[in-house]
């Protein structure tokens, strides 16, 4: 047919059908668009060059994670499918670790429109709020704090607040920063965790001091515990829910199982 000439492409839709790959809500979109690798003039497209680079990465690593924003989900699916077409042995060798962009109150970030939320700017806002809240607490207790110490502590709390707000959400969840919530000392936030960790550390130090002064006995080794003494349902619930599951919780958080494509980690 006459018209605008097409470049070279791979028929992704047909490949998905031939391989009986999942489509729809938990699979590939349908109809899946073709993957164009060459322009009509024979010049290569970016995705084609990305495929070549992906093969190079895959042959030099056991697992490749491409950390790229969700706007590139379709492009990354095309790269993975192309690698599957050319070399089925590389299936699962490379994953697209998709992530959403942090949203501003006026909308999400946009490079084309010049809207950015810089980490330094966010840190400054967080530290200003943390200094205000912690300063009020010290003033309420009538404590005079060394300025250098106060600056160091508020720096650590502000940095932790930023990290926790980002890490506590799934990569695929858009984050809208609420400064008041992120710095709340009485809600699920880094300041709340740090505050309670400090309190717990104080309790442990007091207990160690009592043990050292022979006022109480030291805790026994776990092999010496008589579990038959746990006769309360509440005790067993605490043990099963919070203690025994803790090691596996840490392990799964550090090394989660990778899903089957096109589902992203």
Q: How many whole angstroms separate alpha carbon 260 and alpha carbon 216?
A: 54
* Strand pairing category for 35-36 and 103-104: unpaired
CB within 8 Å of 133: residues ≥ 6 apart: 183, 185, 191
Q: How many CB atoms lie within 10 A of CB 78?
A: 24
157-190 tens-digit pLDDT: 999 999 998 888 877 788 777 888 889 998 889 9
**For the residues of 73-129, what is the DSSP string, one character each?**
HHHHHHHHHHHHHH-GGGTTTEEEEEEPPPEETTEE-BTTTTB---HHHHHHHHHHH
Phi, psi of 105 (to 5 degrees): -65, -25
Radius of gyration of the chain (CA): 27
pLDDT digit string (tens) for 148-158? 999 999 999 99
Q: How far is CA 26 from CA 10, 69, 92, 155, in A?
A: 23, 19, 17, 43
pLDDT of residue 163: 92
Output the pLDDT for position 209. 95
- How many CB atoms sit inside 10 A of residue 110's CB? 11
**For the chain (length 265 residues), average pLDDT per consecutive 10?**
67 93 88 89 88 92 88 91 91 85 61 67 90 92 92 95 87 81 90 92 95 93 87 89 86 74 67
HSE value, Cβ hemisphere, 13 Å, CA-based, for 262: 23
Count of alpha carbons within 13 Å of 93, Cβ hemisphere only?
A: 20
CA 213 to chain centre: 45
- Confidence at residue 254, expressed as pLDDT on a 0 to 100 scale: 74
Q: CA angle, corner 100, sides to 252 and 259, nearest 5?
A: 40
**Are the CB atoms for 74 and 149 separated by under 8 Å?**
no
What distance in Å separates the CA atoms of residue 97 and residue 84, rounded to the nearest whole number? 18
Q: How far apart are CA 38 and CA 183, in angstroms?
A: 51
């Amino acid at each position: 047919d006459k018209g605008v000439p097409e470049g070279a492409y791979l028929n992704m839709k047909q490949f998905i059908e031939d391989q009986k790959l999942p489509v729809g809500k938990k699979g590939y979109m349908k109809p899946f668009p073709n993957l164009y690798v060459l322009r009509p003039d024979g010049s290569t497209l970016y995705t084609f060059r990305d495929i070549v680079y992906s093969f190079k990465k895959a042959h030099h690593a056991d697992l490749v994670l491409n950390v790229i924003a969700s706007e590139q989900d379709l492009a990354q699916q095309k790269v993975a499918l192309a690698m599957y077409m050319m070399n089925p042995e590389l299936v699962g060798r490379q994953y697209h670790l998709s992530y959403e962009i942090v949203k501003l109150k006026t909308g999400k970030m946009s490079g084309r429109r010049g809207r950015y939320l810089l980490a330094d700017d966010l840190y400054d806002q967080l530290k200003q709020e943390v200094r205000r809240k912690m300063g009020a607490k010290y003033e309420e207790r009538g404590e005079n704090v060394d300025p250098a110490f106060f600056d160091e502590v508020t720096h650590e709390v502000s940095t932790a607040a930023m990290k926790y707000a980002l890490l506590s959400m799934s990569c695929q969840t858009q984050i809208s920063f609420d400064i008041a919530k992120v710095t709340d000392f009485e809600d699920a936030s880094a300041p709340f965790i740090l505050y309670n960790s400090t309190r717990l550390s104080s309790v442990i130090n007091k207990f160690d001091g009592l043990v050292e002064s022979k006022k109480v006995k030291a805790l026994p080794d776990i092999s010496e515990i008589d579990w038959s003494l746990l006769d309360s349902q509440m005790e067993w619930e605490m043990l099963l829910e919070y203690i025994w599951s803790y090691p596996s919780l840490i392990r799964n958080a550090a090394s989660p199982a990778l899903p089957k494509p096109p589902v992203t980690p």
